[in-house]
Amino acid sequence: MISINSRLPEVGTSIFTVMSRMALEHDAINLSQGFPDFPVSDQLIELIYKNLKAGHNQYAPMPGTPALRNSIADIITKTYQRPTDAEMEVTITAGGTEAIFSTIAALVKEGDEVIMFDPSYDSYDPAVRLNGGVPVHLKLKPPQFAIDWGEVKSKINSRTKLIMINTPHNPTGSVLREPDLKSLEEIVVAHNLIVLSDEVYERIIFDNLEHQSVLKYPKLAAQSIAVFSFGKTFHATGWKVGYAVAPEYLTREIRKAHQFITFSVNTPVQLALAGYLMNPDNYLQLGKFYEQKRDFFLEQIKGSSLQPLPCFGSYFQLLSYKSVSGLSDVEMAEWMTKEKKLAPIPVSVFYNDKTDHQLLRFCFAKNEETLEKAGAILRKL
């Protein structure tokens, strides 16, 4: 064995894989890794089958099939009033994670600083470091997990290149509001920064709140890459199809990385999605659908000693177990999985310094039966 100087020495296996595996091993209800346990639409599956049978089985064009990019550009133009050019501003990627990685690979140079907010999704920090960048972690505090824009300003210096945001937010379920986007716009315009905005839960937003996309703010959109995911919108996380929307000068660079990271994304699914997107009913109801799930889950845990935190979007609910146990959140998640047969995700793993607020994340993208069973366990803790 030769000794390798690991580029990510302290990184182990992703917490989602660890907890899903533990859930399987201990026959626990898996509310850890975020994925729905209900089926994809038959119509969409038929469309994929039709495209497979019609022989659409070779490489798609590198930036994505024109049909899908056209559908997306139309929807973005209508939804966020941002006129979007399918040819030069939309790139289909292997899920949101690849869009994020390709963007960072294309834009971040050795020593460039990238501001991110903890708890942050587990791929952000390694993606920056693998590309020679320096992550700058700012901490958000429960229960609101609000961004302190004054603090953001104080961290900007000549090396700052990119700010990463995520709304609706994984793992906390918080969402950014209009004043947040306005503060962000002011800062990035003043300092010539780029924004990488992870909006994969754009349609999973509750309580009549409006999703605050960077694309809605023209000056901000001119300096931003917005990342989306069909896995979240169509209950198909395993297909790994997402996309990045960015102005032409940024898209050109992102595609340079994308073409050597995945080259292109599977053709039949892209063609099927293009057809399926024609009918807005196929995605406009998603917020209400998941709002009911959130409410159903909250109903199930009424009477439990675990305290829910506000959840305005995404399909994750945080629960505080402070009044129940002094265990660390990692220990608690493990204990719950092994002893109580219910698997959550500990939130401290999303803090660079492992800050432990004794919070667990539960995925409520599940059938009512699954949520009822989980509720019964949580009520007895």
- Residues engaged in binding ligand GLN (CB under 6 A): 14, 16, 33-34, 170
**Using CB atoms within 10 A of its CB, is residue 307 exposed (0-12), middle (13-18) or buried (19+)?**
middle
The C-alpha angle with vertex 206 and arms to 358 and 44, in degrees rounded to 5, equals 105
Q: How far is the CB of 30 from ligand GLN (least distance, A)?
A: 10
- d(Cα 181, Cα 195) in Å, to the nearest integer? 11
Of 14 and 259, nearer to ligand GLN (C-beta) is: 14
Report in angstroms how near the CB of residue 14 gets to ligand GLN at its nearest: 6
Closer CB to ligand GLN, 34 or 36, in the complex: 34
Of 71 and 229, the one with the shorter C-beta distance to ligand GLN is 229
Residue tagged 């399918």 (tokens)? 86
Smallest distance, ligand GLN to C-beta of residue 168, A: 12
| Residue closest to ligand GLN when measured from CB atoms | 34
Residue 63 or 242: which CB sits closer to ligand GLN?
Answer: 242
Report the nearest approach of ligand GLN to the CB of residue 314 (Å).
Answer: 9
Judged by beta carbon, residue 73 or residue 332, the one nearer ligand GLN is 332
From the CB of 360, what's the least distance to ligand GLN, in Å?
13
Distance of alpha carbon 260 from alpha carbon 24, whole angstroms:
35
Tell me whether residue 242 or residue 375 sits nearer to ligand GLN (CB atom): 242
CB of 33 to ligand GLN, least distance (A): 5
